[in-house]
Amino acid sequence: MPYSVGIQAAGAALLSAGFPAMFTTAIVVLLVIVSVISSLHKDAADAPARLPIYSLFSIVPFFRRRFDFLNWGFQVTGQSAFQFDLLRNNVIVVSGESARETFFSAKGLDLTEGFKILSGAIPMVRGVTSDLQTKRIATIHKRLASVQRNERLSMLIRPMLEDSRRAMETWGNSGSFDPFDNVYELTVRSLSCSEISDDPCVVARLKKLYDTLDVGTTPATVLLPWLPTPAMLKKLWATKEIYDIVVAAIAAREQSGVSRDDTLQMLLDSGDEKLVVVGFIMGLLIAGARATGTTACWMLTFLGGHPEWRDKARAEVEGLVASQYPAAASSSDSLSSQLAGISLETWEAETPVLDSIIRETLRIAQPHTAMRRNLGAEIHIEGKLIPSGAYVMYPFSDVHLNPDIYPDPWKFDPTRERETKTAYSYVGWGGGKTTCLGQRLARVELKLVTALFLLGFQHRVVDSSGKVASGPPLPNWNDILLCRPPQGSFKLAYERSKTTL
């Protein structure tokens, strides 16, 4: 009877340890059972190769070092597609031109469901940012299109520049900063309202709350969202605070009775229900402002490490000011006002240097992995079975860092010619039926922020000791949101070149 006695002793010890220990032990046992069960099922003959590890061992690297993990998967299987399990979720990763074509065009592959399970970085409020009715999703897409119409987008140019000017004025005449801390929050105006963007404290608070969501996105919070871990509790509280900030801004606008030229006013004037208004601002502040802010950080970083491109971009903007606003040379208007005098059409059609810099920045510093779930019938990609209900992923690195398509792929080179012979050779704004709906707005905002900074400051990349670096830092594709290098490894040193921004 030694075994039964041992079991009884272990049981007694567990009971005496209290609920936390019992709960943790139960979760560990559950995970082990799920892992064992998932490793026992048989795959179909045409199924993708399976990673040679238990599902439990794939969870941490998938979330913490995704770029390395996916590359390892292709290497260890020797195939263009492989599969693994995240608990009970079957995940299939595909690569190659043919796979890319099918991935971005197949009707049954749903973006929303794929992103919700495999990402978890969006604040989830039922009926507001998750579990949305089809009608509400269509309304949000319609409103995003409205924000980018010529008249409304033209109206946003001056306030967006003013927001950037106000933030840059606080930097002083010289110094250094981490762009991911200082540039990131310059992109809030276009998708929110003056009640938020006019208050630097609120903008800074929102950034911290979204950072909390990012840090709190752990394997447990994504795969076991019902588990009350400390990270999940922090995410819930951050989501509540974001929700409260947005709702308070809407209430303040309604109570004031003052109409303003911003996105919130457009939503209210359209008579949209409150959940649509709140969901639009909450969801797009993270999906739009964070993505645009990250790209802006990398644009200034690359330009600081490549002075020849910094000078080309500055010369292009100076040419716009001189040609589109002739009085600028002798005008006492601020730099931001001069830039605001340039038409939307000019910003969009006459900035080929900025366009090439944006394109190359998105290629080399956008660590995305496209995520879908097959909600339709089973399909085949590259001859490999994608069952109904399975999750499918396509890493952007498969094309953007492919040396056959982009020689010396880690090199920042805006002169690269567009590849036209390869299907979906560039997916910086998505591809197929799932392209970025806000890309017009994002392009304009990136140009405005970059133009004001380049004309207002001289800057360069410096290392951790403050010495001028030989080039920009290498993007870290394992950082699945920002591609951010190790904190403290570099900064942007600057000197004010214009007295009046």
Query: CA 492 to CA 501: how far, in whole Å?
Result: 19
Q: Which positions ≥6 away from 345 have C-beta within 8 Å?
A: none
β-pairing, 89-94 vs 391-395, is parallel
As a whole number of angstroms, the distance between CA 197 and CA 160 comes to 9
| CA gap 32, 29 in Å, rounded | 5
List the end-to-end C-alpha distance of the chain, in Å, as a whole number: 83
- Whole-angstrom Cα distance, residue 459 to residue 493? 5
Inter-residue contact 253 to 195 (CB < 8 Å): yes
Residues 457 and 496: beta-carbon distance below 8 Å: yes
Q: How far apart are CA 306 and CA 461, in angstroms?
A: 9
Instruction: Work out the angle between the directed axes of helices 134-147 and 274-284 (0-180°, nearest 10).
Output: 60
Phi-psi region of 48 (alpha: psi -120 to 50; beta: other; left: phi over 0): beta
Contact 416, 404 (CB under 8 A): no
Beta bridge partners of 177: 492
Collapse the DSSP code of 148 into the 3-class scheme (helix H, G, I; strand E, B; otherwise coil) and give the result.
coil
| Distance from the Cα of residue 308 to its chain's centroid | 28
Task: Return the bridge partners of 430, or none.
Answer: 428, 435
Give, in order, the Cα–Cα distances in Å from 241 to each of 246, 257, 387: 9, 25, 39
Cα four-point dihedral sign 407, 409, 410, 416: positive
What does the DSSP 8-state code read for residue 177?
E
Query: Is 436 marked as binding a ligand?
Result: yes
Cα within 13 Å of Cα(413), Cβ side: 12
Question: How does DSSP classify residue 42?
Answer: P
Number of continuous H segments (helices) and E segments (strands) in the chain: 22, 13
Q: How far apart are CA 277 and CA 141, in angstroms?
A: 12
Known binding residues:
436
Binding residue numbers for heme: 436
